[in-house]
Amino acid sequence: MSALLPIAPGLWTDDAQPHLIGGRKPGGEIVFPMPQGDAAASVEPVVLSRHGRLWSWTSQDFEPKAPYPGPRPFAPYLVGYVELPGEVIVESRLVGATLADLVLGMPMELLIVPFDATHCTFAFAPESTA
């Protein structure tokens, strides 16, 4: 993935096994993504777990409206929420599975995947296919 640019800066670490970067608010709540600008003033960066459990999901069968265009031509994709236990629930693309494969609570693992011809993004896949 090194030839592809991240879809946005600061979303994950640059390790061989990348981790998402969240933020811990002064009260202890963890959020993702890490806030930017003035909103980050009292938030401490925190490296999140690579592993979680599928919390909810759906199929994105229609192209999102601007300003959220994706790769062309549009192809339906899976999106879901992955709970990183004790941390946060992350909205993410889901890869390596079909809608029929997904099961509530299934173990998921973070991957960095191509988004378009020049960018990569994060996604979660079932641990058996990651």
Structure confidence by residue, pLDDT tens digits, 42-97: 999 999 999 999 999 999 998 887 776 667 788 899 999 999 999 999 999 999 99
Whether this prediction's pTM lies above 0.85 is answered by: yes
Q: Count each helix (H run) and each strand (E run) in the chain, helices first.
A: 0, 9
- Identify any residues that bridge with 57 across adjacent strands, giving them in sequence order: 80
pLDDT cut 90: percent of the chain above it: 78
| DSSP-derived 3-state class of residue 56 | strand
Q: Six-digit token pair at 39? A: 């909103």
Domain holding 83, by residue range, is: 5-126
Q: What mean pLDDT value characterizes the chain?
A: 92
Q: Answer whether the bond into residue 67 is a cis peptide, omega within 30°.
A: yes
Report the number of distinct structural domains present in the chain: 1
